[in-house]
Amino acid sequence: MTVGARDGAPRQRRDARRNRELLLEAAHEVFTEHGLDAPLDVIARRAGVGNATLYRHFPTRAALVDAVFRDSLTGTMDAGERARRASDAWAGLTAYLEVVFGTLAADRGSNDLMTTRLRGVDSLEAVHEHNRRTVDSLLRRCRDEGTVRADVTTEDVLFGLAALGRAVPALTAATAATAATAADVPDAATVPDAWRRPLALFLGGLRTAPAPPLPAAPLTAAQLGEVLRELGPHRTRASDREPDA
């Protein structure tokens, strides 16, 4: 009996670790696909565990979100540190925002995290504050170097980036959808880098000097319509799309 108890405890710990890993993998998939408001029971079902197991490991949604995205948030802060060390402030700012927007385009969960506020996620609060300090520091240097308009504030830029960032998943989904149904859609506008054009247009408005030509192809009328549809309130929720187990 004593031996059985000793044998059982390590196995229980292994099972618990495995369940946690399965939940983190499933949560990352579901959050990436559907955003942070995805139902938690969808995550549990995809992980192959019960709701009670999920809540035993992660008592709140914030705890689960923090565990899933901590590494990617740290990566964003690392990019900010590199940008601050750039000898050319404008080059540092644009390189940093390319990293940020690449993440926003690839992962809907990260997009929700970085463009909104979610209480209780400590690592998120840290990255929001780090992002603000990074943008503020680089903007001040850009103004000193004469590359950015003197009347542009940090809040101006953060507001514009948040608004643009929220549209990135819809832009990515819409260009992919129209590419699948229309043979004449430009290839350059169907890749995940479609966000580069509106970002460049936004950044060009900050400059004191004429901006370079815009990257990527412009949206077609069909693509714009699809983007606006994706942004609409009638978007299907994750619970409606997830097949039953």
The third-level CATH classification (topology) of the domain covering 1-59 is: Arc Repressor Mutant, subunit A (1.10.10)
Q: Considering the domain 69-234 in this protein, what is its CATH number?
A: 1.10.357
Torsion on CA atoms 59, 117, 97, 141, rounded to nearest 10: -120
pLDDT over 60 at 4, yes or no:
no
The letter for the amino acid at 34 is: H
Residue 35 region by backbone torsions, left for phi larger than 0, else alpha for psi between -120 and 50, else beta: left
Name the one residue in this structure whose structure tokens are 């690392």: 78
Q: Round the average pLDDT of the chain to a whole number and report it.
A: 83
Predicted local confidence at residue 242, as pLDDT: 44
Residues 170-191 have pLDDT tens digits of 888 777 666 555 545 444 444 5
Nearest-10 crossing angle of helices 122-145, 154-181:
110
Mean pLDDT throughout 164-171? Answer: 87
DSSP 237: P
pLDDT over 70 at 233, yes or no:
no
Which residues, including other chains, have CB under 8 Å from residue 236's CB and lie 6 or more apart? none
The letter for the amino acid at 62 is: A
Predicted local confidence at residue 243, as pLDDT: 43
The yes-or-no answer to whether 1-59 and 69-234 have a common fold is: no
Give the length of the chain.
Answer: 245
Predicted local confidence at residue 11, as pLDDT: 65
| Percentage of the chain modeled with pLDDT above 70 | 82
Ordered by start, the domain boundaries in the chain are 1-59, 69-234
pTM, two decimals, is: 0.74
User: Cα separation of 192 and 65, whole Å?
Assistant: 24
Residues 92-149 have pLDDT tens digits of 999 999 999 998 888 788 888 888 777 777 778 888 899 999 999 999 999 999 999 9
Task: Tell me if 24 sits within 8 A of 224, measured CB to CB.
Answer: no
Nearest-10 crossing angle of helices 108-115, 122-145:
70
Predicted local confidence at residue 240, as pLDDT: 43
Nearest-10 crossing angle of helices 61-84, 122-145:
20
Q: Which residue has the higher pLDDT, 190 or 63?
A: 63
